[in-house]
Amino acid sequence: MKFTVLTLFPELIEGAMNTSICGRAISKGVLELKTCDIRDYTENKNRRVDDYPYGGGAGMLMQAQPVYDAYAAMAAESLASGKKPRTVFLTPAGKVFDQAKAEELAKEDEIIFLCGHYEGIDERVIEEIVTDEISIGDYVLTGGELASLVVMDAVARMVPGVLGNETSAGTESFTDGLLEYPQYTRPDEWHGKKVPEVLLSGHHANIEKWRKEQSLQRTRERRPDLLEKFSDQ
């Protein structure tokens, strides 16, 4: 899986992605990360990439030219082969990101992420290059970098070879439409609280039944909206 990030702050992306699980996956060659500083493609001698919006209004907009040229340079190989790469624009106006979307994107060989700033990006270049507009929630950030990191992390965990335990991704919250059951480790008693006896029994069928019941209960208490989707499956 190759991630390419079009950004004004490549160091922010690189610092986060080259640590922990994703960092190890990059070192092993399971993931590939490339960042592109959009400022490197501006035609403005002062490296400006923004200008005032037509029609007035507060703030500035990122211009189409530097964004498009950065994209064209990064996607050149794919475009030459006749394939338009999956290109994700992080925006509050996008469809809210979820586990199903992470699993869908994880099937791609390459994803380009476009990180906006200021009041946004000229709509014309979005129409030209973007295949997916994604939001990570109903709030506004100062830029798309943090949102892109969230999406990349979630997608990366679905890529074979990224997680040490390949069964982990299949048993976590949202994978089956429910929240994950509570989990425990040693010691079996801590601060007067004991691990549920069923988990110490070694009876796998009973353990599986208990975990399913706990997932349903936790979902019912914390995210009842998910139960409607689960019942439709």
Domain(s) of CATH 1.10.1270.20: residues in the chain: 171-231
pLDDT average, residue stretch 105-133: 97
Superfamily of domain 171-231: tRNA(m1g37)methyltransferase, domain 2 (1.10.1270.20)
Q: What is the pLDDT of residue 228?
A: 80
**The pTM is what?**
0.88
Q: Is the pLDDT of residue 232 over 80?
A: no
Report the chain's mean pLDDT, rounded to a whole number: 94
Report residue 19 as tokens.
């640590």
Domain(s) of CATH 3.40.1280.10: residues in the chain: 2-156
149 backbone φψ class: left, alpha, beta (φ>0; ψ -120 to 50): alpha
d(CA 119, CA 54): 12
Confidence of residue 79 (pLDDT cuts 50, 70, 90): very high
CATH 3.40.50.720 fits 2-156, yes or no: no
Nearest alpha-carbon partner for 33 in 70, 11, 7, 2? 2
pLDDT tens-digit readout, 25-67: 999 999 999 999 999 999 999 999 999 999 998 899 999 999 9
